[in-house]
Amino acid sequence: MKIVVCVKQVPNTADVRIDQTTGTMIREGVESIINPDDLGGLEAALRIKDQHKAEVIALSMGPLQADGALRECLAMGADRAILVSDRAFAGADTWATSYVLAKAIEKIDPDLIIAGRQAIDGDTAQVGPQIAEHLHLPSVAYVNQIKYDKQHFIVKRMFEDGYQKVKVKTPCLITVLKEINQPRYMRVQRIYNAFREGLVEVWDNSNLKIEQENLGLKGSPTRVKKSYTKGVKTAGKVFDVNPKEAVQIIVDKLKESYIL
Amino acid sequence: MKNYKGVLVYIEQRNQVIHNVGIELLGEGKKLAEKLGVPLMACVIGYQMDDVVHKIQAYGPDLIYKVDDLFLKTYVNEPYTKALSTVINKVKPEIVLIGATSLGRDLAPRVSSRLHTGLTADCTQLDIDDDRQLLMTRPAFGGNLMATIICPNHRPQMSSVRPGVMIKPEKNNNSHSTVIEVNVLLDEKDMNVEVLEEVKEEHAKINIEEANVLISAGRGIGSKENMKYIETLANLLTGEVSGTRAVVENGWLDKERQVGQTGKTVRPDLYFACGISGAIQHVSGMEDSNLVIAINKNPSAAIFEVSDIGIVGDGSKVIPALIKELENIRK
Amino acid sequence: MELGFDKEHILLRQMLKEFTENEVKDLASEIDEEERFPLETVKKMQEAGIMGIPFPEKYGGEGGDYIGYVSAVEELSKACATTGVVLSAHTSLCAGPIYEYGTEEQKEKYLIPLAKGHKLGAFALTEPNAGTDASKQETIAIEDGDDYIINGSKIFITNAGYADTYVVMAMTDPSLGTRGITAFILEKDMTGFTIGKKEKKMGIRGSATCELIFDDVRVPKANILGKVGYGFKIAMKTLDAGRIGIAAQACGIAEGALEETVAYVKERKQFNRPIAKFQNTQFVLADLATKIDAARMLMYRAAYNKDHKLSFTKEAAMAKLYASEVAVEVTNKAIQLHGGYGYSREYPVERMMRDAKITEIYEGTSEVQKMVISSYLLK
């Protein structure tokens, strides 16, 4: 069995702060990590490998620095690591990103593709299902349990109020939640071997040969019109009022903040 | 692109139960449709959908497109993608709105991919600009950044919208919609995923670190009995209950819901602190929350220093009043 | 401080930080309070490969180096000095000498399971009447056919009771003084070998520190480590390497205490502002951070020398002498900056201060380190 795990290197958004004087986002010193849902995906693949024979291939799209994330995947137990990287891919939205990843996966021809549900920097949850659509494969999203059973996977697909247990044929794509498992630690021995030359294969568009109109910004249906931080947090106000007025103040604030 | 007209809202239902977000989107969709001067349409996909179709008429769609098929009895991505894509291709709406639920966030991307159009996830704000384009605003980077996204050259403009963000419209029992049944050719080839079991869980496992809204209790709420107000408030705001170490040690709350130095660090969109004094051990676990509202009897409580809105008062009076008001709004 | 670190060291440290944060930190106060050996953590360390970092893959190790190993002791000790010393005693005091001096058969039989972490190791030199003056060994080994018969006792033995394999020093010829000492490899199940009373300690209370009792323990000659009469030399060389581990433990404790204190002074407010805004706080923290970095430099230099087959006896002694003093000073000042809370067990700095003190004592007291260092100066 061949399993491709899609992995994204992301800034640890938990470390991102807003500069309280300028209102801009402070990205400096924010570490890069493997997206948590993807790490769950890698662990899920490694557990399948532990029990059945499988080759686990970590696949990432990103700038050349993203090779650090792939070396971590190798240190955890992935057999191969492929970085899809080309300047022409820059600026891709989820449609164009999923298209490139789908083309790379086509070349690998796996039995199973696992992606994290969503990445913590974008939070879209779109790339996984979109890859499946480009590849015309069945997909199941929001999975927090995977069992392999003779050419099928039995998976638990989570909803807000419960779950479905479903059986899906291979080849297929599954997106997983980080709660699916507790990822293993990188193994010391594998860490010492993870930096050998040529261990991470780099594919650019000369390998994938994707038509220009579907690449990067050009291939992206959506555009960012503007982006802004919520700005500097203004000093809080304390109200000493009766309950009725208090309720009004709270409700107004909740409305203003789009919580209501 | 000129051929695309109207706003289409996908009405999420499972087992004939309509998800609130579909209704909320009919309200928001109506606003957008009126701005554009185009019809508001709803799309219902499932099996034995007459009741669902009937119920949503009261929320004002001009047209309801219905795909009713035994293959659509339970949600499975591929047949639903086929059904919704078929409706969109037939109707050609300029805007498609889908709830950003566990189901919608699975369905919408596949549909957008099939239609080769743009999709913006988890929007919290929608508007129309002077060029009749849909402006889709969404949080990114863990809520640190807001981005407004457009989809200039592809149609429809698709957006998934967070549940609970848009306001549910008034129900109008006199409202009437034209119902159009759409036939979609479905067969075994579309059924690569077989649902073996469907289970409802009242108390799905919670993780307060993931919650967008936390209603948090401190010793100041007074008694274990008062926790029920906290729970009700959490339900009304689609949030989770959390608390301080003191509340956990008193046995009023599970340890997994504890916020602070010896508990969890949280950064929700809303942290609602009830009867929490604001000891540093607690504050260090919640100070990065987006919006902090605190209620405390003590006007010099430290929690007010990290709050956006502080209410000096008795939680046992303010919270029930707030619950009542929120229930009125929700109706 | 990236001096001398390769990419794999940086990635290893990242893993160790995650491991410490997830598996070690929350348990630290509990095992201290209950004086309980963290057996479950040792199992997890084994799974991640932490128990055999500096040994070659062919001996069951991870193919890493000493810098990697001391990084592990340092990172673990930031949260829990007990866990740090369990690893240190196992790696540098037991697996270490078997790797350095063992025969192929001994490595096959003892080093492989130790390096794989399937077995835990300990080292026994100290006796009631032989502390700093280790030459006064009263444990006697008498030749008997193909075996030696060992009688006597050892005290303050780290990992005792939980270890499977022990490197034990015993006198084979009292007339030769230190040259009459021989090192043996003992197994926990050998007849006549028992664990005596467990010490009640001030710090590192989760680590098992016990007496070993030998009552006619029959040990095959095949279990002699090195040669007869080489035991003292082996013990001293082993402690040279072990001291780098203790220096790493001391650095870890100090760094952990500093991290706790930095977080605390930013949160704690007095006179309407965080105490971090006071110059006294700032200057104390600056001094502590500088001393910690200096200690780390000394410690990593010693590890680097060992990895590169350079002399490291003096370097290890300097590292241990300085790092242990820094650990004691930093934890003491950390409590001072925490004020009353620091004295309370609710904050980890209280435990860290108790843990720090031992680093000035075991594997050679500070006075012993000074003897070693000065002997190089006055040669």
Cβ contacts of A122 on chain B, cutoff 8 Å: 121, 140
Asked whether residue B57 is domain-assigned, the answer is yes
pLDDT band at C1 (very low <50, low <70, confident <90, very high): very low
pLDDT at B261: 75
| DSSP secondary structure string for all residues of C321-356 | HHHHHHHHHHHHHHHHHHTHHHHSTTSTHHHHHHHH
Contact B280 C263 (CB under 8 A): no
Instruction: Assess whether B116 and B254 both reside in one domain.
Output: no
Q: Which A-chain residues 181-200 have CB contacts (< 8 A) with chain C? A: 184-189, 191-195
Q: Which A-chain residues 190-249 have CB contacts (< 8 A) with chain B? A: 220-230, 233-234, 236-244, 246-247, 249
Instruction: Assess whether B230 and B133 both reside in one domain.
Output: no
Give the best-scoring range by mean pLDDT among B138-152, B239-253, C101-115: C101-115
Q: Which residue has the higher pLDDT, B249 or C137?
A: C137
Instruction: Assess whether B175 and B232 both reside in one domain.
Output: no
Nearest Cα of chain A lies from the Cα of C80 at a distance, in angstroms, of: 19
Asked whether residue B175 is domain-assigned, the answer is yes
Contact B308 A258 (CB under 8 A): no
Residue of C nearest to A190 (CA): C62
Nearest Cα of chain B lies from the Cα of C75 at a distance, in angstroms, of: 20
> Could you list the pLDDT tens digit for every one of the 260 residues in chain A?
999 999 999 998 777 777 767 767 777 788 899 999 999 999 999 999 999 999 999 999 999 999 999 999 999 999 999 999 999 999 999 999 999 999 999 999 999 999 999 998 888 999 999 999 999 999 999 999 999 988 899 999 999 889 999 999 999 999 999 999 999 999 999 999 999 888 999 999 999 999 999 999 999 999 999 988 766 666 688 999 999 999 999 999 988 887 77
Cβ contacts of C263 on chain B, cutoff 8 Å: 284
- Strand, coil or helix: B150: strand
Contact C68 A72 (CB under 8 A): no
Q: How many CB pairs under 8 A join A and C?
A: 52
Last residue of a domain, one of B155, B190, B225: B190
Domain ranges, residue B259: 208-330
Instruction: Assess whether B226 and B103 both reside in one domain.
Output: no
Contact C6 A71 (CB under 8 A): no
User: H/E element holding C218?
Assistant: strand C209-220
Distances (CA, A) of A182 to A4, A37, A43, A148, B113: 19, 11, 8, 19, 32
Last residue of a domain, one of B190, B224, B248: B190
Rounded to whole angstroms, the Cα distance separating A46 from A57 reads 10
Cβ contacts of C18 on chain A, cutoff 8 Å: 185
Cβ contacts of C63 on chain A, cutoff 8 Å: 189, 192-193
Q: Please report all neighbours of A, defined by 3+ CB atom pairs within 8 A.
A: B, C
Side chain identity at residue B309, one-letter code: I
Burial class for C5, CB neighbours closer than 10 Å (0-12, 13-18, 19+): middle
Mean pLDDT (whole number) for C228-237: 97
β-strands B240-243, B213-217: how paired? parallel
Cβ contacts of C47 on chain A, cutoff 8 Å: 184-185
The mean-pLDDT minimum among B133-147, B202-216, C246-260, C339-353 falls in B202-216
pLDDT at C379: 85
Residue of A nearest to C65 (CA): A192
Contact B101 A254 (CB under 8 A): no
Asked whether residue B200 is domain-assigned, the answer is no
Q: Does C11 touch chain A (CB under 8 A)?
A: yes
pLDDT at A235: 64
Cβ contacts of B284 on chain C, cutoff 8 Å: 263, 267
Q: Does C268 touch chain B (CB under 8 A)?
A: yes
Contact A138 B110 (CB under 8 A): no
Q: For the segment B33-92, what is each residue's pLDDT rounded down to a tens digit? A: 999 999 999 999 999 999 999 999 999 999 999 999 999 999 999 999 999 999 999 999
The mean-pLDDT minimum among A55-64, B239-248, C137-146, C322-331 falls in B239-248
Asked whether residue B268 is domain-assigned, the answer is yes
Apex A200 CA angle, A198 and A204, nearest 5: 100
Nearest Cα of chain C lies from the Cα of B101 at a distance, in angstroms, of: 31
Q: Which of B141, B149, B206 to mutate to test the interface with A (most CBs of A within 10 A)?
A: B141
Rounded to whole angstroms, the Cα distance separating A130 from A43 reads 22
Q: Which residue's entry shows tokens 């100090």?
A: C254
| DSSP secondary structure string for all residues of B212-262 | SEEEEE-GGG-SSTTHHHHHHHHHHTT-EEEE-HHHHHTTSS-GGGBBSTT
pLDDT at C135: 86
Cβ contacts of A249 on chain B, cutoff 8 Å: 309, 311
Asked whether residue B163 is domain-assigned, the answer is yes
Q: Residue C54: is its pLDDT beyond 80? A: yes
Rounded to whole angstroms, the Cα distance separating C338 from C336 reads 5
- Catalytic entry in C2, C23, C363, C367: C363
Asked whether residue B318 is domain-assigned, the answer is yes
Nearest Cα of chain A lies from the Cα of B9 at a distance, in angstroms, of: 19
ipTM: 0.92
Contact C15 A192 (CB under 8 A): no
pLDDT band at B204 (very low <50, low <70, confident <90, very high): low
Q: For the segment C25-36, what is each residue's pLDDT rounded down to a tens digit? A: 999 999 999 999
Q: Residue C282: is its pLDDT beyond 50? A: yes
Strands (E) across chain B are located at 7-11, 13-14, 17-18, 40-46, 63-68, 95-99, 119-123, 125-128, 134-140, 145-150, 157-161, 178-181, 193-200, 213-217, 240-243, 270-274, 291-296, 309-312
Q: Which A-chain residues 114-173 have CB contacts (< 8 A) with chain C? A: none
Residue of C nearest to A188 (CA): C49
Instruction: Assess whether B222 and B180 both reside in one domain.
Output: no
Instruction: Assess whether B179 and B231 both reside in one domain.
Output: no
Q: Which of C6, C10, C11 to mutate to test the interface with A (most CBs of A within 10 A)?
A: C11
Last residue of a domain, one of B148, B164, B190: B190
Rounded to whole angstroms, the Cα distance separating B298 from A230 reads 30
pLDDT band at B264 (very low <50, low <70, confident <90, very high): confident
pLDDT band at B288 (very low <50, low <70, confident <90, very high): confident
Asked whether residue B199 is domain-assigned, the answer is no
Assess whether C363 carries a catalytic annotation. Answer: yes
pLDDT at C341: 93
Q: Look up the CATH number of the domain holding residue B112.
A: 3.40.50.620
Instruction: Assess whether B58 and B158 both reside in one domain.
Output: yes
Instruction: Assess whether B183 and B44 both reside in one domain.
Output: yes
Mean pLDDT over all residues of chain B? Answer: 92
Contact A188 C6 (CB under 8 A): no
Instruction: Assess whether B219 and B159 both reside in one domain.
Output: no
Measured in whole angstroms, the distance separating CA C91 from the mean position of its chain's CA atoms is 8
Mean pLDDT (whole number) for B174-180: 92
Looking at the structure of chain B, the number of domains it has is 2
Q: For the segment C109-131, what is each residue's pLDDT rounded down to a tens digit? A: 999 999 999 999 999 999 999 99
Nearest Cα of chain A lies from the Cα of C171 at a distance, in angstroms, of: 39
Q: Does C267 touch chain B (CB under 8 A)?
A: yes
Residues C95, C221 contacting (CB under 8 angstroms)? no
Contact C48 A195 (CB under 8 A): no
Mean pLDDT over all residues of chain C? Answer: 96
Q: Look up the CATH number of the domain holding residue B255.
A: 3.40.50.1220
Contact B197 A164 (CB under 8 A): yes
Q: Please report all neighbours of B, defined by 3+ CB atom pairs within 8 A.
A: A, C
Rounded to whole angstroms, the Cα distance separating A174 from A5 reads 10
Contact B283 C263 (CB under 8 A): no
Q: For the segment B147-157, what is each residue's pLDDT rounded down to a tens digit? A: 999 999 999 99
Nearest Cα of chain B lies from the Cα of C124 at a distance, in angstroms, of: 39
User: H/E element holding C166?
Assistant: strand C165-171
Asked whether residue B203 is domain-assigned, the answer is no
Cβ contacts of A125 on chain B, cutoff 8 Å: 105-106, 109, 121
Instruction: Assess whether B232 and B180 both reside in one domain.
Output: no
Cβ contacts of C268 on chain B, cutoff 8 Å: 280
Instruction: Assess whether B126 and B263 both reside in one domain.
Output: no
- Strand, coil or helix: B169: coil
Contact B110 A133 (CB under 8 A): yes
Instruction: Assess whether B45 and B113 both reside in one domain.
Output: yes
